[in-house]
Structure 1
Amino acid sequence: MGALVVAGVAAYASYVHQREFALQGGADRTSATLWPLSVDGLLLLATVGVLKPSRGSDRRTRSVVWLAFLLGIAVSLAANIAAAPALAWKPVLVAGWPPVALLLAVELLAHRSGDDIGGDAADESEDEVVDDNPLLARARQLDTRHRELYQRPVSAESLRKELRVGAGRSRRLVAVVRASSNGSGRGRMPTQNAI
């Protein structure tokens, strides 16, 4: 709830600053009213794309998401700071803070919702992790590499970071990978390398 309040306040302040910037830049009232939505809207979409990449997204798609993210930050900060009444540290801080706060609040919300739903669905059973899950093959590869490098199985936290999934899903993936590497798996998807 707190992150939503922060996001709402920051979004409003950022909107007001960017609208003022657009008016100063010669936009008519309608365009100036819509312009901040295009900037912060793009930034919000890109933030979600960075935090929760879609399955099967290729390198080009990830590059576009990151480009949108970086451009969104740059334009939002520049527009907010340009709307400051003076280029002194206090007005610049007041004008520049809202897009930063908005970005961080959205990231906190995205991380929290990712942990709450465990990547996809909170009620996902272990069978669903094993059957028809493209993340399982990647988890097994990471486990194999981790065992070769560190002589121990990969942790759920390492999988969560590498695969960008929620904590619940990473724990289920680790359980399936460890069970199959110990020879106690169901045999539906055999391990690539028996360890």
Structure 2
Amino acid sequence: MTKTKVNPKVEDYVREIPIWQEVTEKLRTILLDIDVEITEEFKWHKPCYSVNQKNIVLIQGFKAYCALLFFKGSLLTDPERVLVDVGENSRVGKQLRFTSVKDVERLQKVIKAYVLEAIQVEKAGLKVEKKEKTNEIEMPEEFAIRLEENASLKAAFEALTPGRRKAYLYYFAGAKQSKTREARIEKFIPQILNGKGLRD
């Protein structure tokens, strides 16, 4: 492990997770060993890796697989055709999925190459082009991640009326900074779980 400092919160998390411990540790070792200035953080209760305070990748554990989420995965060239959409409403993030340590070892070079490309995308300030104005509202990536990770939240959100869902998405997406979007989402999760709208 070269330049990146180990984050104690991530150390604790990896020690305690019931599944995908070895896969998470292997992914973490690869990320920490990339010869650039990457910061290891603990966000959304997951190991997150950033450069210049911009999120690059997140390690996510699910029942069926462990994933490396590229926050701007849709902007990567993906020559190996290994990236998967996060969800049907997500246009920006993409995942690289693993079901064993062997999967990670087999794709080690690909992981490094994709992370380095993702860092260049972020440094270049590239952004996903916004859709032309339609009735659809773009789902903020931060909220898409929460829905993917929390089945109860996803079910509760989908059970809301279209108007209530739209109001939440407008409100979450209205914040320019990721931190603000995260704070807004965090604040309203209990309300969504209770089947209430933004103004209820």
* TM-score, normalised relative to structure 1: 0.24
Which gives a bigger RCO, structure 1 or 2 (Cα 8 Å, sep 6+)? 1
Q: Which has the higher strand share?
A: 2
Indicate the structure with greater helix content.
1
Please report the TM-score for the alignment, with normalisation by the length of structure 2: 0.23
Which protein is bigger by CA-based radius of gyration?
1
